[in-house]
Amino acid sequence: METQAPRPFPMNAWYAAAWDYEVKRELLPRTICNKKIVFWRKSDGSVSALEDACWHRLLPLSLGTLKGDEVVCGYHGLVFDGHGRCTRMPSQETLNPSACVRSYPTVEKHRFVWVWPGDPALADPALVPDLHWNNDPEWAGDGKLIHAKCDYRLVIDNLMDLTHETFVHGSSIGNDAVAEAPFVSTHGDRMATISRWMIDIDAPPFWRGQLGKPDNVDRWQIIRFEAPATVAIDVGVAVTGTGAPEGDRSQGVNGYVLNTVTPETDTTCLYFWAFVRNYRIHDQTLTTQTREGVSSIFREDEYVLERQQQAMNEHPGRVFYNLNIDAGSMWARRLIDKMVAEETKPAATLRAAE
Amino acid sequence: METQAPRPFPMNAWYAAAWDYEVKRELLPRTICNKKIVFWRKSDGSVSALEDACWHRLLPLSLGTLKGDEVVCGYHGLVFDGHGRCTRMPSQETLNPSACVRSYPTVEKHRFVWVWPGDPALADPALVPDLHWNNDPEWAGDGKLIHAKCDYRLVIDNLMDLTHETFVHGSSIGNDAVAEAPFVSTHGDRMATISRWMIDIDAPPFWRGQLGKPDNVDRWQIIRFEAPATVAIDVGVAVTGTGAPEGDRSQGVNGYVLNTVTPETDTTCLYFWAFVRNYRIHDQTLTTQTREGVSSIFREDEYVLERQQQAMNEHPGRVFYNLNIDAGSMWARRLIDKMVAEETKPAATLRAAE
Amino acid sequence: METQAPRPFPMNAWYAAAWDYEVKRELLPRTICNKKIVFWRKSDGSVSALEDACWHRLLPLSLGTLKGDEVVCGYHGLVFDGHGRCTRMPSQETLNPSACVRSYPTVEKHRFVWVWPGDPALADPALVPDLHWNNDPEWAGDGKLIHAKCDYRLVIDNLMDLTHETFVHGSSIGNDAVAEAPFVSTHGDRMATISRWMIDIDAPPFWRGQLGKPDNVDRWQIIRFEAPATVAIDVGVAVTGTGAPEGDRSQGVNGYVLNTVTPETDTTCLYFWAFVRNYRIHDQTLTTQTREGVSSIFREDEYVLERQQQAMNEHPGRVFYNLNIDAGSMWARRLIDKMVAEETKPAATLRAAE
């Protein structure tokens, strides 16, 4: 499948392909950046990822079977190892030396299996986005995977501007304070941050319940984007006047909304998210409650984003106007565009542009 | 959404967008001539119509909420008044002066809300097609809206030649007389008329029931097309020999089939119709019976027209042969084509061609 | 509907349009080689085949009615005879002399109705593919029609290489012997044959049941392709050492898998098949059992072939690698390509290329 220029996502990046528990001793097909890939866990626990199309007749390998650590095509029985090399063909002893399918680098970190769809030579595990809260023993929580029918960048836009909470999530986490509060924007080479503090406000229903106190609160939302597709949001409330803006959060509750959004195709994405907290970390009921609560909230976003994608499909080439609130998404998109431009400039490695 | 040249419909015309009762104090999305439009009724009873896409991020405004007489976008809360001017933005005091969406002229007449998708400067309410029977106290009846998956002109063709009744509606209103009777065709600048009288025939089942007499009848069908998309058909039967052809319909029953067909896209339409009569006008049971009876008949047309559209899609560029019976639809299409040619000729107003 | 060059199938060929019993005294629509055709049986038992689109307004004639041996259009009542000539028009005595639709030659043979979509002048009944076993009194059996969403050539590929039985049909007719056994390939102008003998093997479950003996067997698969789309496969097992390879099949059981695959569109086909045998030919229970058994096996193929087609759609222009096992399908495709090239070369008759 060809993508239109300019490509909406860089290829030389780690993208979450699955939650760790999803990759088992069986064949899992996923599409990442328009590439169909079959994943499986080998007997040593590592994860193999191959192009999901047999070299011979294109049948998806994921329709075949796993035999030991190798995949057997479900049509004519060609066998491929985890590196994509064909190790057996029917009715012939000599294997065609060209018989191989593309393999992709993978790494497992922070409860996700990550895949690198671009040039394998550049796949440095140190570049995996920082979502360490997701398996840090000081934090607890859980998340889900949303298969959203929109460009992954619309999810990023949505996360970089939380004023939409007031209008999309008015019944749970939104109130007028979010849309009215000022924010500070900073950015670096791969990062962009939007910080918003709402001082001495009435807590919205969700946070009121987490805090368990009737006082007015200082509420914070510190949104940290890491290019190309990860957003970790430091959120919470503390009793107003107890010093949270200055760094003392002891009279409050703190969570992280962890998000990483993987382009599936140009107009669909795999949106992995988790909500973790550093209080009542052994309370599994609270973990389940908040996971399901956040899941309901994110369904509201999903509906809006899919309708926005449909509207964009009907208005091709439309340029968007930006408001003050769009500062965060503007920076995020600039950093994404820079990554794409770097890997598609004439001198860039050809393998990345495959 | 772009339409292919030449456009199959004029933009500078009033098109029925909804039955009057459909437009309430809530947001109603409709597509008219490939334009997505959101309608709502204001507190003064008048109807607003705006482009159904927020200026900011394109989310359909119809997914938002009505607040007083203004619409609030369901994503970031931008507010637009009935003229399409943005009156509120989140997190900023100064409004971007370009922040507006297109508004469309509307008028309410003959039980329909009409919209003018072309140049607003030309939207003269006097040009609303004549369907006065639909709210004339001397006439009674009711109708429906059919969402038909075909070019609106196929509905016009269908209405301009009623010989199809014999083959499509043989069990209700069709009989061999319709296909065999001669007809007279006349036309003007915006009108085309087909008149057919069937003298001394056996009445078809529907009309036999309306007349309530066993006699042979003179049956008339006087089809009056008003460009671009309205067809009012004067229909009825009278006891034969009592002077109906000469103008004395006192021994008969008379109805009007009122039709106005609004292009939704190039290949779908909103087909508004009503059947009204000038006898037993306080008999609501009869009103309901005839509405449901005509509705069943029109479903037979809808099926044929949608299959015809599918066949046309499979034979792009196919030119149609015309029979004698196609005189009416030929005139209707000439008048439509003339309207389109006038508004798309080089000197025509640019706003109309937007 | 236009097909892309080069066309994947010849037009000048007999293709099975229906099982004989499917064509009755009613209108049967089928699409053959991208052409919509309506079939019906006339009172003399012969089969008419016309383009399924009225000359007047394109409505499919199959939506109309059969009146005697003629078809009446369901919209305006135009009548066409079995040669496609219009014999009646509504409201006019003089028929437009151009009023006709295309007719197609048909012939009924070997329990199928065959149609010739190309140049009628070339439609020689002697060219109907040989499937005589299907109504030979020495053979018994039955079959079905599969509407498969794949290029008809993928079915041919599948039938020309039966090593896939090992991987797709492991539970019924496949075992390792098929993938391991050597084969012999021969070919002629319109024919290609693949012969495979598996000597002294354990019979697979299906054949074990048919043979009714515990002995090891010699198993044969003699695949005979007749261009462009027919494959008759001589299959069976005999007790090993009793002379089957040399021609004495008296200690065995013999069947034929009869297949003819009709292109519907470029990427869908009508796959007609039967399984017939020359033993226990009066055992209707066995006929039903084997028909249903083979039907289950072919559903496994259908699933694989449709997924292969989807994968090919996603990889346009991909050239396939061939293995030794692909010798049969390579020859089949060469013979098909030759037929297409012959009828599309500049000097070829224009009518064939319509």
Spell out a b/e string for A123-153, using b for 16 or more CB atoms within 10 Å of the CB, else e: beeeebbebebbeeeebbbbbeebebebbbb
Pairing of strands A191-201, A140-148: unpaired
pLDDT tens readout for residues C262-311:
999 999 999 999 999 999 999 999 999 999 999 999 999 999 999 999 99
Cα distance between residue C275 and residue C290, in whole Å:
7
- pTM for this entry: 0.90
Q: What is the number of other CB atoms lying within 10 angstroms of the CB of residue C32?
A: 26
Chain A nearest-CA distance from C105, in A, is: 36
Let me know if residue A349 belongs to a domain.
no
**A284-314 and A152-160 helices, crossing angle to 10°:** 120
Residue closest to A17 by CA, chosen among A229, A159, A190 = A229
pLDDT, residue B4, reads 44
Contact A56 C167 (CB under 8 A): no
**B152-160 and B327-344 helices, crossing angle to 10°:** 140
Q: What is the number of other CB atoms lying within 10 angstroms of the CB of residue A323?
A: 21
pLDDT band at C341 (very low <50, low <70, confident <90, very high): very high
Contact A168 B74 (CB under 8 A): yes
Contact B76 A315 (CB under 8 A): no
- In single-letter form, the type of residue at position A22 comes to E
Shared domain for A101 and A215, answered yes or no, is no
Max distance between CA atoms of chain A, in angstroms, equals 79
- Chain C contact for A88 (CB, 8 A cutoff): no
User: Which chain A residues contact residue B53 at CB under 8 A?
Assistant: 311, 315
How is B17-61 classified by DSSP, letter by letter? Answer: EEEGGG--SS-EEEEETTEEEEEEE-TTS-EEEEESS-TTT---G
Contact B321 C75 (CB under 8 A): no
Let me know if residue B175 belongs to a domain.
yes
Residues of chain A where predicted confidence (pLDDT) is lower than 50: 1-5, 352-354
Chain B nearest-CA distance from A227, in A, is: 22
Cα C278 versus chain centre, distance = 22
- Chain C contact for B351 (CB, 8 A cutoff): no
Mean pLDDT score, C303-326: 92
Res. C191: pLDDT tops 50: yes
Res. C164: pLDDT tops 80: yes
pLDDT, residue A304, reads 95
pLDDT, residue C127, reads 97
Cα C264 versus chain centre, distance = 11
Q: What percent of chain C has pLDDT over 70?
A: 95
User: Which chain C residues contact residue A74 at CB under 8 A?
Assistant: 167-168, 304
Cα distance between residue B130 and residue B233, in whole Å:
12
Chain C nearest-CA distance from A263, in A, is: 17
- Is this complex's ipTM strictly greater than 0.95? no
Contact B311 C90 (CB under 8 A): no
- Give the closest of B58, B75, B99 to A164, CB-based: B75
- In single-letter form, the type of residue at position A110 comes to H
Query: Which of the listed residues B126, B158, B178 is the one where a domain comes to its end?
Result: B126
Of all residues in chain B, the one with the smallest CA distance to C73 is B167
Chain B nearest-CA distance from C150, in A, is: 20
Question: By the 8 A CB rule, do A115 and A32 touch?
Answer: yes
- Chain B contact for A330 (CB, 8 A cutoff): no
Cα distance between residue C262 and residue C13, in whole Å:
10
Let me know if residue C354 belongs to a domain.
no
Gyration radius from chain B CA atoms: 22
Contact B321 C99 (CB under 8 A): yes
Residues of chain B where predicted confidence (pLDDT) is lower than 70: 1-5, 174, 347-354
Let me know if residue C2 belongs to a domain.
no
Residue closest to C296 by CA, chosen among C308, C284, C288 = C288
Contact A92 C182 (CB under 8 A): no
pLDDT, residue C271, reads 98
Of all residues in chain C, the one with the smallest CA distance to B308 is C59
Residue closest to B311 by CA, chosen among C58, C102, A125, A302 = C58
Shared domain for A110 and A142, answered yes or no, is no
Contact A167 B36 (CB under 8 A): no
Query: Which of the listed residues A93, A126, A159 is the one where a domain comes to its end?
Result: A126
pLDDT, residue A55, reads 96
Query: What are the CA-CA distances from residue B29 to residues B33, B40, B86 (Å)?
Result: 13, 9, 19
Chain B nearest-CA distance from A274, in A, is: 23
- Give the closest of A167, A181, A307 to B76, CB-based: A167
pLDDT, residue B92, reads 83
Question: By the 8 A CB rule, do A129 and A14 touch?
Answer: yes
Find residues 18-57 of chain A whose CB sits inside 8 Å of chain C. 36, 53, 55-57
pLDDT band at C113 (very low <50, low <70, confident <90, very high): very high
Mean pLDDT score, C243-271: 97
Angle CA(B188)–CA(B191)–CA(B192) in degrees, nearest 5?
A: 85
Shared domain for B79 and B101, answered yes or no, is yes
Cα distance between residue A230 and residue B207, in whole Å:
71
How is B133-191 classified by DSSP, letter by letter? Answer: GGG-TT-EEEEEEEEESS-HHHHHHHHH-TTHHHHHSTTTT--HHHHHS-EEEEE-SSE
State the residue range of the domain holding A236: 130-344
Query: Which of the listed residues A99, A126, A153 is the one where a domain comes to its end?
Result: A126
Shared domain for C165 and C197, answered yes or no, is yes
Burial of B147 (C-beta count, 10 Å sphere; 0-12/13-18/19+): exposed
* Number of compact structural domains in chain B: 2
pLDDT band at C347 (very low <50, low <70, confident <90, very high): low
Residue closest to A145 by CA, chosen among A304, A274, A256 = A274
Cα distance between residue A347 and residue A303, in whole Å:
41
pLDDT, residue A347, reads 63
Contact A56 C321 (CB under 8 A): yes
Chain A neighbours, 3+ Cβ pairs < 8 A? B, C
User: Which chain B residues contact residue A315 at CB under 8 A?
Assistant: 53, 58
- Chain C contact for B304 (CB, 8 A cutoff): yes
User: Which chain B residues contact residue C36 at CB under 8 A?
Assistant: 314
Shared domain for A122 and A222, answered yes or no, is no
Let me know if residue C188 belongs to a domain.
yes
Let me know if residue A83 belongs to a domain.
yes
Shared domain for C288 and C148, answered yes or no, is yes
Shared domain for A112 and A143, answered yes or no, is no
pLDDT tens readout for residues A67-121:
999 999 999 999 999 999 999 998 888 898 899 999 999 999 999 999 999 999 9
Of all residues in chain C, the one with the smallest CA distance to B312 is C58
Let me know if residue C240 belongs to a domain.
yes
A18-25: long-range contacts, CB 8 A cutoff, minimum separation 24: A18/A112, A18/A113, A18/A145, A19/A111, A19/A112, A19/A113, A19/A143, A19/A145, A19/A272, A20/A108, A20/A111, A20/A112, A20/A113, A22/A113, A22/A145, A23/A47, A23/A113, A25/A66
Shared domain for C115 and C164, answered yes or no, is no
Shared domain for C184 and C115, answered yes or no, is no
- Chain C contact for A348 (CB, 8 A cutoff): no
User: Which chain C residues contact residue A56 at CB under 8 A?
Assistant: 320-321, 323
- Chain B contact for C58 (CB, 8 A cutoff): yes
Res. C186: pLDDT tops 50: yes
Res. C178: pLDDT tops 80: no
Query: What are the CA-CA distances from residue A243 to residues A182, A183, A255 (Å)?
Result: 19, 18, 17
Kindly report the CATH number assigned to the domain that includes residue B82: 2.102.10.10
Shared domain for A134 and A109, answered yes or no, is no
Question: By the 8 A CB rule, do B263 and B1 touch?
Answer: no
- Chain A contact for C304 (CB, 8 A cutoff): yes
Shared domain for A67 and A166, answered yes or no, is no
Residue the block writes with tokens 């049956």: B219
Give the phi and the psi of residue B343 in degrees, each rounded to 5. Answer: -85, -10
- Give the closest of C166, C167, C321 to A96, CB-based: C321
- Give the closest of A58, A59, A76 to C325, CB-based: A76
Find residues 148-187 of chain A whose CB sits inside 8 Å of chain B. 157, 161, 163-164, 166-168, 179-182
- In single-letter form, the type of residue at position C58 comes to L
pLDDT tens readout for residues B219-275:
999 999 999 999 999 999 999 999 999 999 999 999 999 999 999 999 999 999 999
Res. C248: pLDDT tops 80: yes
Shared domain for A204 and A246, answered yes or no, is yes
A198-203: long-range contacts, CB 8 A cutoff, minimum separation 24: A199/A240, A199/A245, A200/A240, A200/A241, A201/A175, A201/A177, A201/A240, A202/A175, A202/A177, A203/A237
Chain B nearest-CA distance from C58, in A, is: 6
Give the phi and the psi of residue C121 in degrees, each rounded to 5. Answer: -65, -20
Kindly report the CATH number assigned to the domain that includes residue B329: 3.90.380.10
- For residues C324 and B82, the model is more confident at B82
Let me know if residue B2 belongs to a domain.
no
Of all residues in chain B, the one with the smallest CA distance to C64 is B167
Question: By the 8 A CB rule, do A123 and B51 touch?
Answer: no
User: Which chain A residues contact residue C308 at CB under 8 A?
Assistant: 57-59, 75
Average pLDDT for chain C: 92
* Six-digit token string for B290: 């005839």
